[in-house]
Structure 1
Amino acid sequence: MEIGWTGDAELVHAVGRVFRSTGAAAAVAVITPQGGLTATVGADHHSTFEIGSISKALTGMLYRDATERSLVSQTTILRDLLPLEGHGKVGSVRLSSLSIHRSGLPGLPPGMHALRRTVDFWFRGQNPYGDSLADLLEQTRNVRVGSARPRYSNLGFQLLGHAVAQGAATSYERLLHEVLGEGFSTPIRADDLGPMDLTGFSRFGRPLPAWVGEGLAPAGGVRATIGTMRGFLSSILDGSARGLSALEPVSKYSSRVGIGAGWITLEFQGRAITWHNGSTGGFSSWIGLDRDAGVGVVVLAAMHGSVDRQGFRLLTEFAASRRSAIVSR
């Protein structure tokens, strides 16, 4: 077992089998019909992690909740909500296509601006996403809208989240708090971070600047504690969360993968799994649910590098133990 993990004994034992020693702060939460379990190492329940692209799953739920409240519709276009006059075809993109990564938008705004950011990140460790919303909108002026085929787009979810917030006459962070809870944060500047906001590290152990920025928030700029993520996961499984239709697949992302509003679905070891992962410069994350078994898992780590394998394995183990308990009754 990895030394340092603390929390519920059953989960500590499970993560000890699944995680290799990295030296990074990490936290895991599991929800089953019998209750919730939490384990941490190098962190506690008040430590805040960057959750990366799990932010897109949250944004998908905000979008679906807004459609259910008739604040926006699936046929609403970006130009109806954001000041995109003179930005070419970007303004005509529908919210529904953004939510399933079929908008025709690139992953990031193109051009030398994006190239410089990529270089600054890979060689200097700098945050590539410090833009304001106004900056983000300006970067869309020369974006070419391609065919409506599956293409993962950070830019698309950035625009989706801010458009939905405008439809609700508020900011993205306020909408996030209203719909999904106060525990999430979307820091705009490094100065907004507090003592409980963890520092992330590269896979080689190098400390990296936080990924903060108003424009980034809906696609990858949300932070949360393991307690917040555990509560969020529980609300999905007990059906009390708003925007739950986001988890239902409405389109094919690939031959074996479906997609709802941000949320991904696939068959894994014969089970239907609904999930999303995340990665920033110094953090990795994973959330997944076996909804038929009533089991969910969240993994957060303050180090760059996928935790997908750990997440899928823990979900499989706890879902299998749940099914075994039912059979043995």
Structure 2
Amino acid sequence: MERGPVNGLTHESAGGLAAGAAGAGVGAVVGSPAGPVVTVPATEPGPELDRLLRPLFRAAAPGGGAAVVVIRGDERIVACRGQSDRSSERPVRADTRFALGSVTKTFTGLLLAEMVARGEVRYDDPIDRYLPAHAVPGYPHERPITLLHLATHTSGLPRLPVGLLPAMAPRWFTSPYATFGPAHLLRALPRTPVRGTPGAQVRYSNLGCGLLGLLLANAAGQRYDDLLEARVCGPLGLVDTSCGPGREDAAGYRRGRRVPSFRLPALPGAAALRSTADDMLRYLQAHLALDAVPLPERTDAGALRTALGEVRRPRAGRRRGGTRICLGWNHRSVPAAPEPGRPAGGPDVEPAAALTEEVAERLAVELAAESAGDLVGDPVGGGTGGGADREGGDEVVYHAGATRGFTTFVGFSPRAQVGLAVMAGTLPLRSRGFVQNAYDILRTLVVERRAPVD
């Protein structure tokens, strides 16, 4: 597959991704998601879309650049702003790689669904089956932790591995997870507490999703990176998505200062991936329409198509609010009309403190959340329950992530055929507001698609 990158312009054709002329930093493509496309000259977004996206670019501007992907029906837009590296004044382009943080979990969930579709693993397989006997967490095994529990944050495992915070201390302000490898994780698991009965309650766990990636790699007899490339990234044409360094990585900035590259050797399946706007466009297209991305002519291509449909199906729900948990994704309904007594904007943000009982020290919570991949807690809570089958309603499926120097939001609505990916090379001082803003934009795009056309 050949790809020609341009600052902010990308379009798809039957032969892969190709690029047009570099303009003001925005490209739009119109065409059927499953068929040929027609290239539209690179232009700025229309006034309404520009108004929606402006706060995101403004929030990212103080520290680094940003790239935004928008899908609205047949329309494709990739908008890039700012610099990927301020020291070299390198502009952000459609092939600039950003750290995805906890959006990595959606890839791990897709990998699980693909291996289940092949019959290689089952959702209800106990984790003991893919761990050494000496590395099984200590808990009553009448109801074992399963692979599905790990993927839906219902395992009862804590947010972070036992012993991780002490290992972080020497590299607290540089690369805190770099020295905590798989061997450390296996030694920590027998000392890891399990809270409650597996499957009974949603408790967000980077450890659980990272452990899922390790177990899937053990089941396949491959490293996580290699397995993901063979089963997901390669077939979908995500040529710049990986855990390792790439050809043009953006620099991450925190409070205006450049931070070292993020490394997570023990739990790559939780938060270690990097990707580009081009690749996230393809990733979103594949989730919006199963035939949007031509897959290689292989006998196992059907397993990936099945998995793409499985990952967005709700599997568990929070006791508070209307957020439901899919395989690596969060799921919410978008009501047909605003709720009585509430504005039409995005849902309320849950207090962070209520979701971080495992870590007492506030600074440790902040740094762990930034480094491990996700914002503290669910970025968008509250609102109403119910699903997309509600009369007049739609579903939105989304996830957010943050490392020490990057913030990411990815979401889509299959019914509305809307997708949004936001990747910023900075951790905004009010990163929860940044993610909430991205969610509100996604929801606005969904509602606009629902509105009747004169």
Q: TM-score range by the shorter chain?
A: 0.7 to 0.9
Partner of 1:166: 218
Partner of residue 181 from structure 1, selected from 233, 240, 256: 233
Spell out the pairing of 1:189-204 with structure 2 (5 A cutoff): 193-194=245-246, 196-202=248-254, 204=255
Q: Deviation string for 1:108-145 (max 9, x for gaps)?
A: 1124x424516843xx2333254332332222131112
What is the number of residues matched between the two proteins?
Answer: 315
1:249 aligns to 2:298 (yes or no) = no
Return 86-95 or 127-136, whichever deviates more: 86-95
Spell out the pairing of 1:11-90 with structure 2 (5 A cutoff): 13=50, 14-16=52-54, 18-21=56-59, 22-23=61-62, 24-41=64-81, 42=83, 43-85=92-134, 87-89=136-138
Partner of 2:324: 258
Consecutive unaligned residues in structure 2, runs of 5 or more: 1-22, 28-43, 84-91, 292-303, 337-393
Tell me which structure has the larger Cα radius of gyration.
2
* CA displacement at 1:254 relative to structure 2: 3.3
* CA displacement at 1:247 relative to structure 2: 1.1
Name the Cα RMSD after superposition. 2.4
Q: Deviation string for 1:41-80 (max 9, x for gaps)?
A: 1210121100000011111111111111111112212221
- Looking at structure 2, the residues matched to 88 and 212 of structure 1 have their Cα atoms a distance apart, in angstroms, of 25
- Looking at structure 1, the residues matched to 404 and 335 of structure 2 have their Cα atoms a distance apart, in angstroms, of 31
Spell out the pairing of 1:261-272 with structure 2 (5 A cutoff): 261-268=327-334, 270=336, 271-272=394-395
Higher helix share: 1
Return 126-135 or 260-269, whichever deviates more: 126-135
SS class of match (2:436): helix
SS class of match (2:265): coil
Q: 1:174/1:126 Cα in 2 relative to 1: closer, same or farther (>3 Å)?
A: closer
| Structure 2 counterpart of 1:248, one-letter code | R
Partner of 1:294: 417
Partner of 1:105: 157
* CA displacement at 1:87 relative to structure 2: 3.6
1:128 aligns to 2:253 (yes or no) = no
Partner of 1:7: 26
Q: 1:207/1:79 Cα in 2 relative to 1: closer, same or farther (>3 Å)?
A: same
* CA displacement at 1:219 relative to structure 2: 0.2
Decide whether the 8 Å contact of 2:202 with 2:316 is kept in 1.
no
Decide whether the 8 Å contact of 2:243 with 2:268 is kept in 1.
yes
Q: 1:18/1:156 Cα in 2 relative to 1: closer, same or farther (>3 Å)?
A: closer
SS class of match (2:318): strand
* CA displacement at 1:198 relative to structure 2: 1.4
Consecutive unaligned residues in structure 1, runs of 5 or more: 188-192
Percent of pairs identical after alignment? 26
1:230 aligns to 2:281 (yes or no) = yes
* CA displacement at 1:167 relative to structure 2: 1.7
Return 132-141 or 20-29, whichever deviates more: 132-141
Decide whether the 8 Å contact of 2:264 with 2:271 is kept in 1.
no
Q: 1:127/1:320 Cα in 2 relative to 1: closer, same or farther (>3 Å)?
A: same
Larger relative contact order, structure 1 or 2 (CA cutoff 8 Å, min sep 6)? 1
- Looking at structure 1, the residues matched to 45 and 67 of structure 2 have their Cα atoms a distance apart, in angstroms, of 14
Q: 1:18/1:173 Cα in 2 relative to 1: closer, same or farther (>3 Å)?
A: closer
Decide whether the 8 Å contact of 1:130 with 1:211 is kept in 2.
no
Partner of 1:190: none
Decide whether the 8 Å contact of 1:199 with 1:207 is kept in 2.
yes
| Structure 2 counterpart of 1:151, one-letter code | R
Decide whether the 8 Å contact of 1:51 with 1:279 is kept in 2.
yes
Partner of 2:202: 150
Decide whether the 8 Å contact of 1:127 with 1:209 is kept in 2.
no
Return 310-319 or 300-309, whichever deviates more: 310-319
1:221 aligns to 2:286 (yes or no) = no
